[in-house]
Amino acid sequence: MILDLFRLDGKVAIITGAGRGIGAASARALAECGADVVIASRTASDLDVVKEHVVSTGRRAAAVAVDLNDLAAVRSLAEVAREEFGRIDIVVNNVGGAIPLPFFDTTPEYLEEAFHFNVSTAHALNLASVPLMLETGGGAIVNISSVMGRLAGRGYAAYGAAKAALSHYTELIAKDLAPRIRVNAIAAGSTATSALEIVTSTPELKSMMENLTPLHRIANPEEIAAGVVFLSSDAGAFMTGKVIEIDGGSDVPTLDFGLPDL
């Protein structure tokens, strides 16, 4: 059965930024396909909701409330997986983001913060997890990047550059870790997460995003999570070093801040 390729029975996944949005949807989806999960985010109450869903599927969840800007805390998630479940098979580097800013407000310090939160956190978790993944034969890493890693728009210098770096980082370490560990990324388009609530709750901005997306709507987190399942499972077993675009066909930024010429 082709559906068997999507099963993850006996696997263990770590998902960062798993309290809400794409991370929470990915944790739920992986559990529904049979995986036990380590879920991490800043807010314990958000993780409790996700954990409850995971348990309802018959799977196990270890919830870790930490500041994922702290690289030591990120690295510790690998040890949590070892202690709770004895292995790591899947890593989903979902935590990230950076608020778009005009050029002169994008300081070098802010640019470094964006790289830290989007790229360094992923590398820290991968470095800690890969040795444990190799102990059981290998596994899969999925990095959640963004369509803004390949599109250009005013105000996106920090966010876009960091996501572009994460996408190319994916391609680079896929070479380092082949053939035992597959590494892929998802370049997500505009998705209805809590990070976009300020936009989606404003009719004019929501309409702009929908109209600038060829499919004329914003993605649901579950649609990105479906890509995570594919790349994590045997359904995607012949893929590595790829960035899958789940973006509604976007070829321009879907949010134009109307920043004027200098």
CA dist 126 and 117 (Å) reads 14
Active site residue 159: yes
Count how many Cα atoms sit within 13 Å of the Cα of residue 100 in the half-sphere of its side chain: 17
Instruction: Please report, for residues 99, 128, 204, 256, the alpha-carbon distance to residue 91 in angstroms, rounded to integers and kept in the order given.
Output: 25, 11, 37, 33
State the Cα torsion 115-119-120-122 to the nearest 10°. 160
Q: How many CB atoms lie within 10 A of CB 125?
A: 26
Under 8 Å between Cβ of 153 and 112: no
**In angstroms, rounded to a whole number, what is the distance separating the alpha carbons of residues 92 and 214?**
28
Which residue among 110, 156, 159, 169 is the active-site one? Answer: 159
Q: CA-CA-CA-CA torsion for 232, 219, 22, 153, nearest 10 degrees?
A: 100
Joined tokens for residue 110:
């802010």
Catalytic residues: 159
